[in-house]
Every structure is written in structure tokens, then in C-alpha cells.
Structure 1
Amino acid sequence: MSRMTEWIGRILDASGWLAKASALLLVILVTANVLARYLFSTGNVGLQELEWHLISPIALLGMSYALHHGEHVRVDVFYEHMRPTVQAFVDMLTALLTLAIGVYLAWVAIPYVQASFSMGQGSPNPGGLPHRFLLKAFIPIGFGLLALQALGALFEAVATFRTARKGVHE
């Protein structure tokens, strides 16, 4: 199981790197668009749309990365006072629920992306970005990564639960 968990961690770290790169690109792009607008009285619709499009990889790739590294928001008021076996049990339930949600949302989003691809959907704005299906593809990818992260968390919680139960019975 530890090999599988390491492999999942590497995938999630790569997705986190892409989310971070998208965030950096967004900052650079917004700065360039603002400077172009106010210093040169010019703008590009495609670059302005790209600003909005970059939010998708930041959020959808970043959510599983943040969860993997424990940087998500959670309320530890009760959790920190639980015994290790109860904590591991809560972690298993949470991982199972997250796994189910991630798989379901990834599955439901696939036809949405396929429809966008089949109609060749692009921006309705003149000078806007084509291939909107590429942006929409982050939905099943992001939730698939969330399911993968939940699977890794489930493996870890099961291992922790087994270790904690051994300690209780010895």
C-alpha cells in the first residue's frame, strides 16, 4: 500500500505544481493586461478570457493537492481530542465519502466535456479563446484527482487504524 500511496502523492504533487504555475501565470497575465489597458489604452479579449480560464486549473487541480498536504480548512475542535483509533475511523469515513463524491462528479462531468468537444465550443466573443472543452476538461480531471487523493487517504487511514488497534490490544 505504501508504494501506491507514494505514487498517488507524486501525481498530486505534479497537479499541485500545475496549479501553482497557473496561479503565477494568472498574476503575470493580470498585471500585463492592467498595464496594457492603462498605459497603452489597449487590450486583448483572448488574454482577458484566459485570466478567467486559469482559475479552473488553480481550483480543480489545487483542491486535491491542498487536501493531500493537509492545507485544507477543517475544524479540529473535536478531532484532536479523539483516540487514534477513532481519528483513523473518521478519516476512513471521510475518505470514502470524498472518494464517492470525486468519482461521481468526474463521471457526471465527462458528457459535459464531450458535448463541448463535439460542438467545437469556443468563446462567443470576437477574438475570444477557441476550444472551450479544454477548460471544461479540468472538471473531470480535478474530481478524478480528488478521488485519487481520497483513495490514498483511505490507504493511510486503514494503516493507521490497524496500527492503533494493535497498540490497544497489546
Structure 2
Amino acid sequence: MVMVTFLGTSYAARKGLHIRMSILNDALRGKPQKLLALFVSLVTACIMLYLAWLSFRYVRRVGTLHRVSPILQFPLHYVWSVVPVGFALTGVQYFLTFFRNLKSGDVWVSYYVKDELLDPGEMAAKKEGN
């Protein structure tokens, strides 16, 4: 579960599948929307890398204490090492999004997915086309 959660976060960020509170983003257009996208991706990247650093320190501490799982006696720092990796990969994905938004005229929710606001009529037409 730990592996799926933290590596899945990076995958969701890469594909633009992460949960977003988009009411402010949807209300904005043009330069303010672009600035918001730059701000959100940069701040999120920094937070993810900070969490990667904190979790790395924690995993290192667990390793030095030689903590093991109760039944299998498996070193816990091996299990928890995926946490800083997942945070770091997620941070990288958000930095890529930041740079994509910096270079492009469009707004991107990930490096590969453009932010597209569809009205209900466009959504229905797109659904019928699939």
C-alpha cells in the first residue's frame, strides 16, 4: 500500500489526474490563470521536495535504529524508502509542469496534459464522439 500510494502520486501528477480545487482556476482567464498555474506548480514542487527531504531523514533514522517488522523481521527502512522516492518524483513532475507553463502560452495541469475547461455542451459532444 505504501508503494502504490507514493509512486501513484507521482503517476497522477504526470498524467494530470491529481485532485484539484479548480474553482479559482476556472474563474480566471488569460494572464491571471497562467500566473496561478505557475504559482501552484512551483509551490507544490517545493513542498513535495521538502517532504522528500523530511521523509529521507526519517527513513535514514529508522535505518540507524535497525527497526524491523514485528513478524518477518524485515528492515523497515527498505519498506519506507519508497516514501522519499515518491515525494521526490512528484516534486520533479510539478517542476516539469512549472517549466512547461513557463515556456508555453497555454495552461498545463501536468507536463503532458493541457488545462481544458469544457462547458456542458462541449462535454456532451466530446462524450458522443468517443
TM range (shorter): 0.7 to 0.9
Match of 2:88 in 1: 144
> Is residue 2:19 matched to residue 1:73?
yes
Q: CA offset at residue 121 of structure 1?
A: 1.8
Distance in 2 between the 1:111 and 1:78 partners? 36
Q: Which has the higher helix share?
A: 1
* 1:79-98 matches, cutoff 5 A: 79-98=25-44
3-state SS of 1:78 partner: helix
Match of 2:54 in 1: 108
Matched residues, percent identical? 25
Match of 2:79 in 1: 135
Compared with structure 1, are the counterparts of its residues 111 and 81 closer, same or farther at alpha carbon in structure 2 (3 Å cutoff)?
closer
Retained in 2: the 8 A contact 1:64–1:142? yes
Structure 2 length as normaliser, TM-score? 0.72
Q: CA offset at residue 150 of structure 1?
A: 1.1
Structure 1 length as normaliser, TM-score? 0.57
Amino acid at match of 1:133: H
* 1:1-170 matches, cutoff 5 A: 55-125=1-71, 128-160=72-104, 163=105
3-state SS of 1:75 partner: coil
Q: CA offset at residue 59 of structure 1?
A: 0.8
Compared with structure 1, are the counterparts of its residues 112 and 76 closer, same or farther at alpha carbon in structure 2 (3 Å cutoff)?
closer
Query: Based on CA coordinates, which of the two structures has the bigger radius of gyration?
Result: 1
Distance in 2 between the 1:69 and 1:80 partners? 19
Retained in 2: the 8 A contact 1:96–1:150? yes
Aligned residues: 106
Retained in 2: the 8 A contact 1:89–1:157? no
